[in-house]
Amino acid sequence: MVKKKNILVVEDDKNISKLLRYNLEKSGFNCFSVITGEDALEFLDVSPVDLIILDVMLPKMDGFETCKQIRKEDNLAAVPIIFLTAKGEEVDRIVGFELGADDYVVKPFSPRELILRVKAIINRGKPVEDDRTILSVGNLVVDIARHKVLVEKKEVLLTMMEFKLLVLLLKRIGRVQSRESLLNDVWDISSDVTTRTIDTHIKRLRQKIGRSAGMIETVRGLGYRFKDDEE
């Protein structure tokens, strides 16, 4: 599981701030919010974030000024910033790079759009991992992009959890995975699933992959392991 990205929202309208926080959290980001530009600088001083959403119209120091101050800090100069602006506000200055904004969204905005833009920026430049990766061991073939699993050339239908579990075991082939680590990596960190539940999923997985079931080995007292290509 990838580490969650941190986002700082600088917005004086409580409602908007709350709306943003709600949506960002829902999309899997850690979200912090402050009211003023000064607060923002103070906050950033101690805990840098991965992206900043900055309202243009703020009490005292406005968004532009705040942005400029942020850019002054060496370790913050490269942090992506998305401006929130009311319609008709000085879009020109934002667009013109003068301030090094990475994007801007006009209020009233749709949360979905904002989230998309945030994701676009966060993921910018990152190759799409996993996509089109095909894992193949023994008579087992797993195509991640297609979400297909073949056992001896025949397709086997796996559910999400089974699929994830299988992929993880394959990626860490040969190494024992404790139930705890499987929980961490296959399930959400926050989920409160019993470790024994994993056994149930392993059972189902073994049933479905039939002939290859033996490839998933039980390591008593430790966890499970996908057998390294047999000899």
Partner DNA sequence: TTTTATGTGTCAAAAAAGTGACATCACTGT
Partner DNA sequence: ACAGTGATGTCACTTTTTTGACACATAAAA
Do 129 and 154 touch, CB atoms closer than 8 A? no
Which of 153, 160, 190, 231 contacts DNA by CB under 7 A?
160
Round to whole Å and give the CA distance between 142 and 122.
28
Which of 47, 75, 192, 196 contacts its own copies by CB under 8 A?
192
Burial class (CB in 10 A: 0-12, 13-18, 19+), 31: buried
Round to whole Å and give the CA distance between 115 and 63.
20
Q: Which of residues 98-117 bind DNA (CB under 7 A)?
A: none
Residue 201 binds: one of its own copies, DNA, none (C-beta under 5 to 8 A by kind): DNA
Q: Closest Cα to residue 5, out of 39, 38, 40, 53?
A: 53
Closest CB 147 distance from its own copies, rounded Å: 5
Residue 220 in contact with DNA, rule: CB under 7 A: yes
Closest CB 142 distance from DNA, rounded Å: 16
Which of 201, 209, 215, 226 contacts DNA by CB under 7 A?
201
Secondary structure percentages of the chain, helix, strand, coil, to 5 = 40, 20, 35
Shorter beta-carbon distance to DNA: residue 133 or 200? 200
Round to whole Å and give the CA distance between 71 and 77.
4
Residues making contact with its own copies (CB under 8 A) = 38, 57, 59-60, 62, 86-90, 92, 95, 97, 102-104, 110, 112-113, 116-117, 120, 124-125, 127-128, 131-132, 145-147, 159-160, 174-176, 183-184, 189-190, 192-193, 219-222, 225, 228
